[in-house]
Structure 1
Amino acid sequence: MSMEPTSKPGEIQPSEGSLQPTDSQIHAISNLIAWADEPEYPGQVDQEFDDSDNQLIQVSLGIASGLFYALQAKHFPTASHSLRVAKMCSRWATDLELEPFQRDQLEVAALLHDIGKMGVPDYVLTCPGKLPAEEQTLMDRSKEIGLEILSACCDGEEIIDLIRYNFAWYDGSRGNCDRKKDSLPIEARMLAIADAYDSMTVDQIFRRARSKDRAMAELVSFAGTQFDPELVGHFCELQSRNQSAENGATRHWLRVLSPDEANKHWRLNQAGVNLSRLRATSAYQDSLVRHIHDAVIYLDLNLAIVGWNQAAERLTGINRETVEGHQWTSELLGLADQQGRSLSQKSDPVRQAIMGGAQSMTRLSIRNADNKFVTVAAHVVPVIGEDGKAIGATIQLHDTSGMESLEEQIESLHYRATRDPLTGLVNRAEMDRSLAEMVDRHATLNKACSVIICDIDFFKKINDTYGHPAGDEALIVFAKLLETHARSADVTARYGGEEFVILCPNCDGQSASSLAEAIRAELAAIPLSALGGKSMTASFGVTELQRGDTADTILNRADRALLQSKEMGRNIVTQIGGGLSEPVIGDRRHWWHRMFMSIEPEVLLKRAMKTRVPLNLAVEKIRGFVADHRAAVSEVKEDSIKMVIDGESLPMQRRSSDRAVPLILDLQFSPITAENGSQHTKVQISISPRRNRDRRKRDAIERARHILQSLQSYLVAYEFVDTTVATIDEGTSWWSRIWGRSKSGESR
């Protein structure tokens, strides 16, 4: 059905069946010619569009004029720039004598080349200085927005291609286009030059206008890279000649005033319509998102809300119809971190997802439907288009308020289960677990760690004299002092009664002893009101991890050091054990060869070692080894000792159901005199299983190797190649007296 057009004041109507101008058209032509006769000055900014401008736009764009007027309403300077570029291109096309259809397409492309800026937020367009990175991303995105708008209403790809290739550099170095140099449409190369020239010669909000000569010099400097050098030369020549090509250009603008001609580029292009890029593309997907348990929110590149599912309505109490199409802000939901602090642009995960393409999952607090703040797990994911650029973001909010309460309860239960109720320190069970973990980790890495064990001197006397409440206060004061001095990685535990333990990872024996001494000195100087202003003292035992140690052996050795402190008068620090730093010299053969160097079939390991201490001191060290490994001495001869280790405290048990392999250690001693006259001791060590037919020989060998390393650490011994054993004629009574005295001194 055809409709007769109605005339409006100043509007041009064609005569039916003819392209000859009517009286109203002649009036419009005279106005346009008057406009064409006016000189154009670089740097001039249009304050408003006159009738000739509006008629010119309508003649060129027809029904698509609404796009240009929408741009004018959005950002007037951009619309003015587009109109000036269109006039400039039209005159230049006339001078180059381009084909009429080329001039038509160039004029339309020039008028609409910045149409994508309608999708750029106002605060970006009006920014007076250099744009930050995230705002520059929005400005760059305007190119794709403009092409998307035109793809929905432009009939044909020629005009869209002109705008697309307008942003490409002539040499192909920028613009991410598939063409370069002469393969680019000549109209696109012309539009790029005119666009840049007008931008430089007009005042911008972020910089002042450049002179005409300087702008042309800038074009020349980029000829061959950004711009076509031949077209740059022609454009500069045209500007220098200042010849009047306006009449020809104006005649071209008014060549045809028929709406049919103006509208031939435009129609509704359903294939190009993509108004719901961020929405689900099928009924199944839409139903899934709408009925998912978690709140899901969709945002486009400009932070406009384009999706809001039912779970989001339930969580926030805000209906979808109320927010869709509106701008997203963190204040909409009262978004804040878990401490209730407002989010800055740097800490806002939504902006980081859109501007920086960063995915994040974090705990936040929001205001729910009951106007109460609840904790949510916010998963923010950028949505990436087919071109690899961000086109928006999705926000998934999971209410974790119930889970957080459960986590707090579990954490509270774990704290109570692992803490001593009186002092607040780690309890015995947690200390045992931490000790085993520390020894295993540091032995594997061959790094030093230490154990400090201490107890309050004469604690029973404090209870008997001042009462049990005073004893409790003494324990609390001592525990706080230990925590104050302990490092952040240390584990401070109440071992039982008045005994306490400090586990010191990555700490050698000397550093641990210094720590213990500092605690001891400060404790002795603190007056306690519960003790009538008197102070109390404590004794300390310190040891460092040695080769072959287990959690039991290192703790037993520290306990022996504490016992020595008490025997020497209390209120002192005693350190025993050489640690991992003892040099191992002598036999350099491969450990595999030395491990299996056996003489008799039933012997697992056999070694010869030397220690730089006399025989009686070596016996003292063996006494500590027996105590820490809970060994049972089965035989003592004039030059040897034999003991049995049941294996319960040994490492290498792969499962809790594994039975330990009992081992027999046979040590033969020989005193030797060094070249400098000092007395050393040679020790021949033989380790074998208690049962010769034990089928678990592989485990037994591993355990024997650990025992050998531990024994070497206790003796501070080194291996050597000579395995002969000298005869000792000291007599049975001498050896028995030394070993008997060693055993009688053992009280723990």
Structure 2
Amino acid sequence: MAMEPPTNSGSYDPTDESLGAVDDPIHTISNLIAWANEPSEETADEEFGEADNQLIQVSLGIASGLFYSLQAKHFPTASHSLRVAKLCSQWAATLDLEAYQRDQLEVAALLHDIGKVGVPDYVLACPGKLAAEEQQLMDRSQDIGLEILSACCDGEEIVDLIRYNYAWFDGSKGNSNVKGKDLPIEARMLAIVDAFDSMTVDQIFRRARSKERAFAELLSFAGTQFDPDLVSNFCEMLSHPLPSSSQATRHWLKVLSPEQANRHWRVNQNGANPSKLRSLAPFQESIVRHIHDAVIFIDINQQILGWNQAAERLTGLTRDAVEGHLWTSEMLGLADHQGRKFTHENDPVRVAVSGGTQGMHRLSIRNAGGKFVTVTAHIVPVVGEDGKSLGTTIQMHDTSGVESLEEQIQSLHYKATRDPLTGLVNRAEMDRGLIDMVERHTTSGRSCSVIMCDIDFFKKINDTYGHQAGDEALISFANQLQTNARSADICARYGGEEFVILCPSCNNEEAAMLAEKIRSEVAATPQKALGGKCMSASFGVTEIQRGDTADSILNRADRALLQSKEMGRNIVTQIGSGMKEPAIGDRRSWFARMFTPVEPEVLLKRAMKTKVPLNLAAEKIRGFVADHRAEVLKVTEESIKIMVDGESLPLQRRMADRAVPLIIELKFSPILGENGGQHTKVQISIAPRRNRDRRKRDAIERARHLLASLQSYMVAYEFVDTTVASEEVEASWWNKLWGGSRKGESH
């Protein structure tokens, strides 16, 4: 394919007609390039001289200027275009294309991406999937390239090759009416080589694929996007050794390579000792390349100059894919340690360059696996001897291992304190939380409440729908508890289908409202596992009272739940009046009441009234006996006598203290209320079991706590009354209620 230069002269004569018709510029360029490609015997193995470079500039003209403009705009795109042009040149040689076809193909390949000079830098540097508006800018580059070439090309051949390069072989894409073999063979070849090079070279948004995988991708689109015959020929060509570069690639393409273009330039070290720099350079380069931490060099224009191996391992982006690109925080998904992305103004790298200050930052970046990890970044500006900023260096140390250990510890603690099925707090953790809540609120005098609940007829759910459906019902119920509970509340699975909610800083009324909200929501929510039917739940609510322990408040909530079940289920039952002072009755201070004359052996004696019938008042006393593990000593038709040993009481100051057992006697009598309802009057007396016990001061304090607890259980208030009720108590239900009671037994 080489052409002979004019034989009458040893120099090039542009007027010689043997080089081609003057009215056909592309053929003139073809002849000039072909002549430049013809090596002489004397210079076949030598580098090009200045005359060759001048000939190239004359031959290519505007084409070379456009290519260097693209190289200045985006170096990776220019490098891709040059590789595509070289490979097209080699392939055209194996196909024996006509000289003018080869010329057009090479120039079209070199300039097929020239439209990217009109794409913003941040779009070209985007490391991930482009947003819709960014993709529109990238697609617009095709039209921009065609407009640029149409304005400077004398003919339409090269413009058409680039236009048809975007058209698919089957005509399904590309906005072209031409398809199949009607497409120029040069355009079909360019489309294949363009795709192959893009797949086999590292990109900022994707790692390079192997040659075999690229072949498989081309073959899978053969007949649709690409010419199947040319794909087979291209794969076969690359499967065998290629011709030597000096024989297959045009000289002008090699001169455009960065190595040849920069061979006349070197960095001026301003008087530095070259021998010393040469001796230190390998050591410095070795340290940066093999250091464990990622190191990145960025110049004053935010262009990436260096990217060591650790940075490649950490980010998954290769050196070839990022060097020459502009730095953007989006490249690494850069964010602070809380995951908040940086803006252009607060990007720590840009701040370091503009402000000239170094800093240590805890950042989050996207690693090679696409996950976000935490790094410690040391960002240091680089300043020249003249005081001007040259850029910045970034050293990043992966700290995800340390955080991973912390996360593992947290994960182990979470698993140890959570119910594996529902994800709620387990019973052991709930017990710790309950003790802490009771101690804190008793000390501060603030209210707190406990809600105990369970799913109604849960065994029937398991028997009817299966245990898997039962598990799903438990999970759904737990989710409803967690969703409705306050942020400070603790939701726990107590066991089986029973659940507990600890409500700090919450009184009985607020806790009952919360329980009612959950109850109504559960009753109205269809369960998929139950065939679309709804389930129901029962709730017991209580508030902390004077003298309460963790066991007593939990037992009281359990008793309230039991009452809800006995009253028909799917309801909320509330027990106790909390720590409030009585609103009605004797308003004397406890100090004055304590020293009111009483029988010598009695520590405290009070008269109280409760607005409930006699049988319900007796039921509440039964709960008091169960919660305080009391022993029933005597039951008559109108009274009950119980003993509470000191082990169930608070205020035991020292481990060596011996508790004072106390005897509580309660006398009941029914009375009529203001509105004609049945109320109950209770006479309460508390005395030590032995009159000779000298620890009277502690006994009185414990008696006061027991009295306050009784008042809360019965929802009663004190009043001054010396009369004795005349109504007789029905002995049958009373003896049935209290007959055969034992210590701590719940009735």
Alignment TM-score, normalising by the size of structure 1: 0.45
Give TM-score scaled by structure 2 length: 0.45
